[in-house]
Amino acid sequence: MAGNVGVATLGAGVLVSHPQALSDRPGGLQICTQEYLRTLRAAGIDVTVATIAHDRRIATRIRQRLVPEPYPPQWRPSAVSDIVSSALRVNARLVFLNLVNLAPLALALKPQVSADTRVVLLSHGLESVDFLHTIPFDSYSRHQQSELGRRLLAERRQRVAIDHVFTLTPWEAEIERWLGARGVTPLPRTVTKRAPLTWTPDASRLGFVGTLDHPPTRDGVEQFLTAFEPLAPSSLHVRVVGGPEASGRALADRFRSVCYLGQLDDRALEAEASTWSAFVHPLFCFARGCSTKLAIALAWSIPVVTTPAGARGYVWREGVLPMADSPGAVARLACDMTDRSTAIRAREEIAAVARSCPTTEEVGRIIQRALLGTSREAEVTA
């Protein structure tokens, strides 16, 4: 591939993943997995994918129910030998574990591979990060406190057997270092090139897309709507796309401005989003991983309103991404987008942001430098 260096040096690698992460579903897990695959290949790594099935045996389920673990073994006993065989078959010296749920596998895998084989974690975000957001600020629950501590201690133990961690954001890379990871590199988000939407904005429409039972997402949307409704005219609605349905309907029952549309396929979503004055992405806490929906909105080249937390993991060289850091400020910014001239200027800035985000080849070179040890910290910065 043009622009790659060190192809022969990095050679072959095995990516270990659960099958659902590799499915064609349009979820964040699947989008991040495909992005990792593209950038690993851009780094000159000949990637072989090895899928491992969940261990759904009755005995395993009973044991987890009686003695629950924060990171339970999610693979059948044959998984380790299967991975070792896959690595030997292609002469791989790199084994990539896709998702932190597979991090415990490193403890079982490390003693079984050769001394020069590196185990690399492709993090989609730490479990402990989102678990913290499920605990109310005023909670004194000893069970919740103990559970958070158990997750952190499990994550620290796992890092002993992991040679390098790639993260989706720089701030989570710092948590990985705190946990004791020996090598950590944040990888900036890429924006897949696609034709911009034929934008025909309706001044009565804003839009939102997300998983409505994800605590940070749910809380962000509720804080935004609480600030938005006293400011917005009664004719202005937030058209909400996502699931589960019960959460969407509950949101529509609570807020008069919400028009809940359910879950839409790609074609229907693009047709709907082309009518929005702006895509609103309100997130007020730093959740695990990154917001994959933001990359889609950037590629659409429609106006976007978000927050620093919503844009975590993204860097760009040109353009201004409309952002605010409080629910009230985001609500005012969203209302401003119903003015056509304001929205047009924002759309031009969004197009510049999307064009100047790192390419797959650039991120591939970051991976190369990290795994070849040619730089202490390899980042693309805005």
pLDDT confidence of residue 374: 63
Which of 357, 313, 367, 292 shows the shortest CA–CA distance to 42?
Answer: 367
Backbone angle region of 100, left / alpha / beta, with phi > 0 → left and psi within -120 to 50 → alpha: alpha
- The DSSP code for 276 is B
Give whichever of 191-195, 258-262, 286-290 has the largest mean pLDDT. Answer: 258-262
Residue type, 215: P
What is the average per-residue pLDDT within 56-64? 77
Indicate yes or no: pTM above 0.85.
yes
For the stretch 310-321, pLDDT in tens is: 999 999 999 999
pLDDT at 171 over 80: yes
For the stretch 198-211, pLDDT in tens is: 999 999 999 999 99
Q: Which two tokens stand for residue 325?
A: 């850091």
Q: Which strands sit side by side in the sheet containing 46-51, from one edge to the other?
A: 46-51, 12-17, 94-98, 118-122, 164-167, 184-186
What is the average per-residue pLDDT within 11-18? 96
Q: Which two tokens stand for residue 162?
A: 């992991």
What is the average per-residue pLDDT within 327-338? 98
pLDDT confidence of residue 70: 82
pLDDT at 5 over 80: no
For the stretch 77-131, pLDDT in tens is: 889 999 999 999 999 999 999 999 999 999 999 999 999 999 999 999 999 999 9
Which residue pairs, CB below 8 angstroms and at least 24 apart, start in 181-188?
183/370, 185/366, 185/367, 185/370, 185/377, 185/378, 185/379, 186/313, 186/379, 187/39, 187/363, 187/366, 187/367, 188/313, 188/314, 188/315, 188/357, 188/358, 188/363, 188/366, 188/379, 188/380
pLDDT at 6 over 70: no
| Residue 124 DSSP SS3 | coil
The dihedral sign for the CA sequence 226, 228, 231, 232 = negative
Q: Which two tokens stand for residue 27?
A: 């979820």
Q: Which strands sit side by side in the sheet containing 205-209, from one edge to the other?
A: 258-262, 237-241, 205-209, 279-281, 304-306
pLDDT confidence of residue 77: 83
